């Protein structure tokens, strides 16, 4: 699936969840450095139950992003997250690819 089709799918999923009355957050890769698993513009959509679709890291930091998204859904305050080899939690969350990614998480709606 090409990147544009993937983006459309994730936005359609977010819209569908919102129409069903769910609170939804979206996480977007805003910058990468080095060997990053997903390019800038990649998305992950998360609902208040912790369900998610898409990817911001090929699976290596999704659980940490989902946890942060739950906080964003509760507070309404967006967050900028950074994961990388210099981050002491990088190995803990699985970012062993040698890169760095910045992910912006915000509530939709």
Domain borders along the chain are 3-108
pLDDT, tens digit (0-9, with 9 covering 90-100), for 23-82: 999 999 999 887 777 889 999 999 999 999 999 987 778 999 999 999 999 999 999 999
CA distance 36 to 105: 18
- Mean pLDDT over the full length of the chain: 84
Percent over 70 (pLDDT), the chain: 80
Cα→Cα distances 98→29, 64, 90, Å: 16, 18, 9
Q: How many CB atoms lie within 10 A of CB 9?
A: 15
CA distance 99 to 31: 11
pLDDT, tens digit (0-9, with 9 covering 90-100), for 74-95: 999 999 999 875 555 555 555 5
Q: Which residue has the tokens 């996480």?
A: 27
Report the Cα–Cα distance between both ends of the chain, in Å, rounded.
27
Give the global pTM.
0.82
């Amino acid at each position: 699936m090409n990147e544009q089709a993937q983006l459309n799918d994730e936005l359609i999923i977010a819209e569908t969840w919102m129409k069903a009355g769910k609170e939804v957050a979206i996480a977007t890769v805003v910058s990468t450095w080095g060997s990053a698993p997903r390019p800038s513009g990649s998305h992950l959509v998360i609902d208040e139950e912790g369900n998610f679709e898409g990817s911001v890291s090929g699976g290596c930091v999704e659980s940490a992003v989902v946890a942060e998204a739950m906080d964003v859904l509760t507070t309404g305050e967006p967050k900028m997250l950074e994961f990388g080899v210099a981050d002491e939690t990088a190995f803990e969350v699985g970012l062993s690819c040698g890169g760095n990614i910045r992910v912006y998480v915000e509530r939709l709606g």
